[in-house]
Amino acid sequence: MNNYFLPKVLLIEDDQDDVEFFKYALAQASPKTKLHVEQSCLDGINHLIENINVRPDAIFLDLRMYLLDGDECIKLIKKNDDLKDIPIVAVSTSITPDLLEKLYNLGITYFITKPTTLEKLQQALKKVATTPNLFNLSTRESFHMQDFD
Protein backbone atom coordinates (compact mmCIF):
# COMPACT_ATOMS: atom_id res chain seq x y z
CA MET A 1 0.00 0.00 0.00
CA ASN A 2 1.35 3.43 -0.93
CA ASN A 3 0.95 6.47 1.26
CA TYR A 4 1.05 9.90 -0.31
CA PHE A 5 2.25 12.81 1.74
CA LEU A 6 1.78 15.59 -0.82
CA PRO A 7 -1.96 15.99 -1.31
CA LYS A 8 -1.57 19.43 -2.96
CA VAL A 9 1.31 20.86 -4.99
CA LEU A 10 1.80 24.21 -6.70
CA LEU A 11 4.16 24.18 -9.68
CA ILE A 12 5.52 27.54 -10.81
CA GLU A 13 7.05 26.91 -14.23
CA ASP A 14 7.01 29.04 -17.39
CA ASP A 15 7.99 26.37 -19.92
CA GLN A 16 4.90 24.48 -21.12
CA ASP A 17 6.89 21.40 -22.16
CA ASP A 18 8.38 21.19 -18.66
CA VAL A 19 4.90 21.61 -17.17
CA GLU A 20 3.57 18.66 -19.18
CA PHE A 21 6.64 16.58 -18.29
CA PHE A 22 6.15 17.38 -14.58
CA LYS A 23 2.39 16.69 -14.68
CA TYR A 24 2.90 13.28 -16.22
CA ALA A 25 5.74 12.32 -13.90
CA LEU A 26 3.83 13.46 -10.80
CA ALA A 27 0.74 11.53 -11.88
CA GLN A 28 2.86 8.40 -12.14
CA ALA A 29 4.85 8.98 -8.94
CA SER A 30 2.01 10.21 -6.73
CA PRO A 31 -1.37 9.66 -8.40
CA LYS A 32 -3.42 11.20 -5.59
CA THR A 33 -1.55 14.51 -5.59
CA LYS A 34 -3.57 17.47 -6.83
CA LEU A 35 -1.44 19.77 -8.95
CA HIS A 36 -2.04 23.44 -9.66
CA VAL A 37 0.21 25.21 -12.18
CA GLU A 38 1.06 28.88 -12.52
CA GLN A 39 3.39 30.17 -15.22
CA SER A 40 5.00 33.04 -13.33
CA CYS A 41 6.11 33.83 -9.83
CA LEU A 42 3.64 36.67 -9.42
CA ASP A 43 0.75 34.53 -10.69
CA GLY A 44 1.81 31.82 -8.24
CA ILE A 45 1.94 34.24 -5.31
CA ASN A 46 -1.42 35.76 -6.28
CA HIS A 47 -2.92 32.27 -6.45
CA LEU A 48 -1.56 31.46 -2.99
CA ILE A 49 -2.93 34.69 -1.49
CA GLU A 50 -6.33 34.30 -3.15
CA ASN A 51 -6.56 30.70 -1.89
CA ILE A 52 -4.94 31.19 1.50
CA ASN A 53 -7.16 28.55 3.14
CA VAL A 54 -6.15 25.92 0.59
CA ARG A 55 -2.39 26.06 0.87
CA PRO A 56 -0.30 23.57 -1.07
CA ASP A 57 1.88 21.10 0.80
CA ALA A 58 4.82 22.17 -1.35
CA ILE A 59 5.77 24.62 -4.07
CA PHE A 60 7.95 23.33 -6.91
CA LEU A 61 9.64 26.40 -8.35
CA ASP A 62 11.62 26.69 -11.57
CA LEU A 63 14.63 28.90 -10.91
CA ARG A 64 15.05 30.22 -14.43
CA MET A 65 11.90 32.07 -15.43
CA TYR A 66 11.15 35.02 -17.64
CA LEU A 67 10.58 38.35 -15.85
CA LEU A 68 11.24 37.26 -12.25
CA ASP A 69 13.88 34.64 -11.43
CA GLY A 70 13.42 31.93 -8.84
CA ASP A 71 15.60 33.48 -6.15
CA GLU A 72 13.54 36.71 -6.29
CA CYS A 73 10.37 34.63 -6.15
CA ILE A 74 11.64 32.81 -3.06
CA LYS A 75 12.31 36.16 -1.37
CA LEU A 76 8.75 37.33 -2.08
CA ILE A 77 7.20 34.12 -0.78
CA LYS A 78 9.32 34.11 2.37
CA LYS A 79 8.49 37.79 3.10
CA ASN A 80 4.78 36.99 3.31
CA ASP A 81 3.79 35.76 6.78
CA ASP A 82 0.94 33.67 5.35
CA LEU A 83 3.17 31.91 2.82
CA LYS A 84 6.63 31.71 4.39
CA ASP A 85 6.12 28.27 5.95
CA ILE A 86 5.18 26.52 2.70
CA PRO A 87 8.09 24.26 1.69
CA ILE A 88 9.77 25.23 -1.56
CA VAL A 89 11.48 22.73 -3.84
CA ALA A 90 13.69 24.63 -6.28
CA VAL A 91 14.14 23.02 -9.69
CA SER A 92 16.69 23.87 -12.36
CA THR A 93 18.79 22.27 -15.08
CA SER A 94 22.01 23.16 -13.29
CA ILE A 95 23.28 24.75 -10.10
CA THR A 96 26.54 25.99 -8.65
CA PRO A 97 27.46 25.29 -5.03
CA ASP A 98 27.36 29.02 -4.26
CA LEU A 99 23.88 29.44 -5.73
CA LEU A 100 22.64 26.34 -3.92
CA GLU A 101 23.91 27.74 -0.61
CA LYS A 102 22.23 31.07 -1.38
CA LEU A 103 18.93 29.31 -2.11
CA TYR A 104 19.04 27.37 1.15
CA ASN A 105 19.79 30.59 3.01
CA LEU A 106 16.75 32.16 1.32
CA GLY A 107 14.63 29.33 2.65
CA ILE A 108 14.20 26.53 0.12
CA THR A 109 13.67 23.07 1.52
CA TYR A 110 15.13 21.01 -1.33
CA PHE A 111 16.71 21.34 -4.73
CA ILE A 112 16.07 18.98 -7.65
CA THR A 113 18.18 19.04 -10.81
CA LYS A 114 15.82 18.88 -13.79
CA PRO A 115 16.14 15.42 -15.24
CA THR A 116 16.61 14.40 -18.82
CA THR A 117 14.33 11.38 -18.55
CA LEU A 118 10.81 10.88 -17.30
CA GLU A 119 11.87 7.91 -15.16
CA LYS A 120 14.41 10.00 -13.22
CA LEU A 121 11.89 12.75 -12.56
CA GLN A 122 9.35 10.17 -11.39
CA GLN A 123 11.92 8.72 -8.98
CA ALA A 124 12.72 12.13 -7.49
CA LEU A 125 9.05 13.06 -7.17
CA LYS A 126 8.21 9.71 -5.65
CA LYS A 127 10.90 10.21 -3.03
CA VAL A 128 9.55 13.66 -2.19
CA ALA A 129 5.92 12.49 -2.20
CA THR A 130 6.30 9.33 -0.15
CA THR A 131 8.78 10.23 2.57
CA PRO A 132 6.92 10.92 5.83
CA ASN A 133 7.69 14.31 7.36
CA LEU A 134 10.20 15.04 4.62
CA PHE A 135 9.56 18.76 4.81
CA ASN A 136 9.87 18.80 8.59
CA LEU A 137 13.48 17.72 8.28
CA SER A 138 16.16 20.33 7.86
CA THR A 139 18.71 18.40 5.84
CA ARG A 140 19.53 20.76 2.98
CA GLU A 141 19.26 17.72 0.76
CA SER A 142 19.53 18.02 -2.99
CA PHE A 143 18.09 15.47 -5.33
CA HIS A 144 20.52 15.38 -8.20
CA MET A 145 19.42 13.07 -10.96
CA GLN A 146 22.64 11.08 -10.80
CA ASP A 147 21.35 9.89 -7.40
CA PHE A 148 18.76 7.87 -9.29
CA ASP A 149 21.01 6.19 -11.88
Pick the CATH number of 8-148 from 3.40.50.300, 3.10.20.90, 3.40.50.2300, 3.50.30.30: 3.40.50.2300
DSSP element (H, E) containing 36: strand 34-38
Query: SS3 letters for 69-81?
Result: CHHHHHHHHHHCC
**pTM (predicted TM-score):** 0.85
Tell me the CA distances in angstroms from 68 to 62, 74, 76, 123, one per residue in order: 11, 10, 10, 29
Contact 36, 65 (CB under 8 A): no
| Domains in the chain: boundaries | 8-148
Closest CA to 142 of 78, 89, 84, 77: 89
pLDDT of the chain, 149 residues: tens digit per residue: 455 567 889 999 999 999 999 999 999 888 888 999 999 999 999 999 998 888 898 899 999 877 778 889 999 999 999 999 898 999 988 888 898 889 999 988 888 888 878 888 888 888 877 766 655 555 555 544 444 44
